[in-house]
Structure 1
Amino acid sequence: MSVRFGWLTACILLFTCIHPIYAADIVDRVVAVVNDDVITLSEVNQEGKALFKRIAEQVPPDRLEEALQQARQNVIEELIDKKILQQEARKYDLKVTDEEVDRALQRILERNNTTMEQFRSELAAVGMDEQQYRENLRSQILSSKLVNMEVRSKVIIPEEKIIDYYDTHYMERMGDGGYYLLQIGINVDPNDPDPERARAEARKKAEQIREQALAGEDFKELARKYSDLPSAADGGDIGVFKADEMAPAMREAVISLKPGEISELVETSSGFQIFKLLSSKQGQIVAKVPYDEVKEEIRNILYQQETKELFDNWLKKMRENAYIKIL
């Protein structure tokens, strides 16, 4: 089926499934009532234009009518929600200016690194024009203002929830036990004509870095900044080692540490190393990422989840209290 013929068929089936008498003479009509507002056939067609076009292009002919009927129902339900949001926004005299829409659209273009001309071309490809997109954007901004007023102000994420999420998603249980380590290495310059002086300078540098770590500076940042080892790119993260996998000097420095502690300097043939123990076999659990690094990220995830749940419940209540009739 060609795109053109498919789209024409989609339109005919869409109008036919609304009511048989309109197949020959299509006119606009009310398809749903939401309190004091109505949803018209033309609104449904405009709102679902891109969706109906995509269905016409992708769905086999023998399933097209059923798919369009379901799509039409989904669009009507979305428009009902939109009407309810608009009605609630009017109660609070909430409005969205053209300037707000312009700014939101500009942010979208910048985020997607595209021009207005490219954007319009992409809209046309899915059967939508700029004006329709702007109106949809206006509706989204209005909804966001309403959600800010009705829902988001009620969202509170306690520390306990953040910790629970962290324990579930960022902690890993180790069946055989092990030591999860960060590492900083300072190498002796092999080309220095005075090897003893070079080793002494490397030791002094390593000791200074260890003092900074003991003073509370971020170990990963110190590793990225000063370490001469390949693990520097990962903030010194070398993963989990069992005791028998470590070199003797490394094992001796690490096994007595408690999680969070910094080792003494470990001297090697190439220089000096410092280790930080994140988790040990005693707990049988290792942290994939330090808590402080992901705390705000987790808070945002939980905030979005909580906001969506509250919004869904709020909208469900609004629908239950509204007069809604689909014709």
Structure 2
Amino acid sequence: MTSIRTFATIMTLGLAFQAASAADVNNIKPLNSIAFEVNGSIITYRDIERLTQELSGRNKDIPREQLVQAAKTRLLERALLADAAKQQGLKVPQEMIDVELVRRAKAENTTIATLYAQAAANGYRRSAYRLEVAKDLLIEHMMSNLNSEVKITQNQIDDALKSGRNLPAGEPYTVYTIRRIILHADSQENMDGIGQRLQQIANAIAHGSDFATMAKRYSQEPQAANGGLHDDITDMMLPENVEELLHQLQPTQATVPLRAGNTWQIVQFLEKRTETNPEKMQREAVRRMLVRQAQQENQAQFLEQLQQSAVLREY
């Protein structure tokens, strides 16, 4: 159910499935038969066919055999990430699934009932569809954890500019001024408690408490001394889920408490401006390029580690 990333990323795990024959691709075995078992998670031929059909709708010029291979690899990746999240003790409450369904329905300009109906047409019962949504949320959290570790320094940008290689062209970009309250958890066991604490802070703000004052009192980052103020935020600096909500805010509005990596965060949007300085635009374009490269490397390394330790059975 999660959107499919680039084929280059998907195919990094393809070796695990190369033993599958072209005959299996053509559904010689019943769709409900087990194709693979990954750390105890079952992948059926129906799962492979379902994802292949989804891919084919968006990639009509790619041969079916390649799409099947990509579907198998994506399902392996998904199973590995979901298992890793389970091993870390990550959980998705039913309320979080409900919130995600509301978000998806709004994004697709439809209703939750229609989402369930579409899932049923693809062979998912209601409970199974909700489980898939929960897996999506776990995987997003895993990726957010990896991506939050990426920090690009000014020296790295300088080195890239001096390298002489082809670099992306600078374009005007948006700079946000925000205030943030961030609380850190020292373990997964403390995450729920930290989230409840931040919810209490959010409730106080909703009932009139000043955001900057609350940031000075509670936020756990250096900017807390200045009321949590950040005046140079651009895209790909904040966690993905925080950034997504930031784009939807009006001035003085704040996000709900959001879990990001080993933190909980609230962001208040103050204002934004468009940067058109040519030198700054070039540096920002290079920074985003380096961020994407680092994220891809982190994900590839993490998935490779999971694959090396996985128990994979082919039927």
| TM-score, normalization by structure 1 | 0.43
Taking structure 2 as the reference length, the TM-score comes to 0.44
Q: Point out the structure with max Rg over C-alpha.
A: 1
Q: Which one has more relative contact order, counting CA pairs under 8 Å at least 6 apart?
A: 2
Higher helix share: 1
